[in-house]
């Protein structure tokens, strides 16, 4: 099996990364790359969370200053709970997911699977650049660019983080 430049570019791994992955370990470069992606995603969620709270507080503050109604503060208290509780739930689950990925990155353990690959874009996610790669009955996360690097139904060795199923590298299986 050899390094495939198209896969390497799409999934952002090098020959050295692939060599480390073959031995079941995450390379230093891959660790830093995935950690930076994790930090970026975490910042985006925090920004969205605080943005949602500010979006709720600004109209509440203005309305409180303008309104003379005694029921106004009760209405916005209920509205605040209705809006903020779902946001907190989403932030909590995203935080758990990111902490699992962080722990997984610290462990630096890689697993692999061999089989035919099928690719699909995830329609329910807010991030357009997320895709799913399937090998047998196992699904993996990959960027859209990474997923497009695979030839549909060709056999590959997929190296991934075991808990979050994040693809870190891959190589085509050579037929003899």
pLDDT of res. 85: 80
CA atoms of 53 and 60, how far apart (whole Å): 11
User: How confident is the model over 111-158, as pLDDT tens digits?
Assistant: 999 999 998 876 555 555 568 899 999 999 778 888 889 988 899 999
Phi, psi angles (nearest 5°) of residue 121: -85, 140
pLDDT of amino acid 124: 53
pTM, two decimal places? 0.71
What's residue 19's pLDDT? 94
Q: Are 1 and 173 in contact (CB under 8 A)?
A: yes
What residues contact residue 58 under an 8 Å CB cut-off, 6+ apart?
Answer: none
Token pair of 6 as six digits = 């198209």
Taking 50 as the pLDDT cut, the residues of the chain under it are: none
CA distances from 72 to 53, 54, 56, 80, 82 (A): 18, 18, 14, 12, 15
| pLDDT on residue 41 | 81
Cα-Cα-Cα-Cα torsion 7, 8, 10, 11, nearest 10 degrees, comes to 100
Domain extent listing, the chain:
5-24+110-172, 32-106
């Amino acid at each position: 099996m050899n390094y495939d430049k198209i896969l390497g570019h799409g999934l952002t791994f090098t020959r050295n990364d692939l060599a480390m992955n073959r031995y079941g370990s995450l390379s230093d470069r891959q660790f830093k790359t995935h950690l930076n992606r994790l930090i970026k995603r975490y910042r985006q969620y925090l920004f969205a969370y605080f943005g949602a709270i500010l979006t709720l507080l600004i109209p509440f503050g203005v309305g409180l200053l303008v309104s003379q109604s005694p029921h106004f503060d009760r209405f916005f208290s209920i509205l605040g709970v209705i809006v903020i509780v779902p946001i907190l739930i989403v932030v909590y689950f995203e935080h758990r997911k990111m902490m699992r990925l962080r722990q997984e990155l610290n462990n630096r353990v890689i697993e692999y699977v061999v089989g035919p690959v099928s690719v699909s874009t995830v329609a329910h996610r807010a991030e357009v650049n997320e895709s799913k790669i399937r090998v047998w009955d196992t699904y993996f996360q990959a960027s859209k660019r990474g997923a497009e690097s695979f030839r549909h139904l060709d056999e590959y060795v997929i190296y991934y983080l075991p808990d979050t199923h994040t693809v870190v590298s891959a190589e085509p299986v050579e037929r003899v």
